[in-house]
C-alpha cells in the first residue's frame, strides 16, 4: 500500500477474514480488504474493461 500523499508502495497489507457459527442462524462472516480497493475488485474491473474508483491505485 502507498501511504497518504505518497507515490510508492511501502506497506504490506493483509485481508482480514473470520467467521463463527450461530445457533439457528446463518454464520456471522467478516471478509474485507485493508486497502482502498481489494485486488479481486481490481481484476473484476479489468475483465469488464471498467476503470477502478479514483484513488484505488497509482498510475505510471
The DSSP output letter for 34 is S
Q: Phi and psi (nearest 5°) for 43?
A: -65, -40
Q: What is the pTM of this model?
A: 0.54
Check if the beta carbon of residue 56 is closer than 8 Å to that of residue 42. yes
Distance in angstroms (rounded) separating the CA atoms of residues 50 and 56: 13
pLDDT value of position 20: 95
Per-residue pLDDT tens digits for 9-45: 887 777 789 999 999 999 999 988 778 788 888 899 9
Domain ranges within the chain, ordered by starting residue: 16-47
Amino acid at each position: 500500500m502507498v501511504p497518504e500523499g505518497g507515490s510508492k508502495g511501502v506497506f504490506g497489507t493483509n485481508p482480514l477474514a473470520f467467521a463463527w457459527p450461530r445457533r439457528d442462524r446463518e454464520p456471522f462472516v467478516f471478509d474485507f480488504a485493508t486497502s482502498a480497493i481489494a485486488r479481486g475488485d481490481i481484476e473484476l474491473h479489468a475483465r469488464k474493461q471498467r476503470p477502478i474508483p479514483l484513488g484505488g491505485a497509482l498510475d505510471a
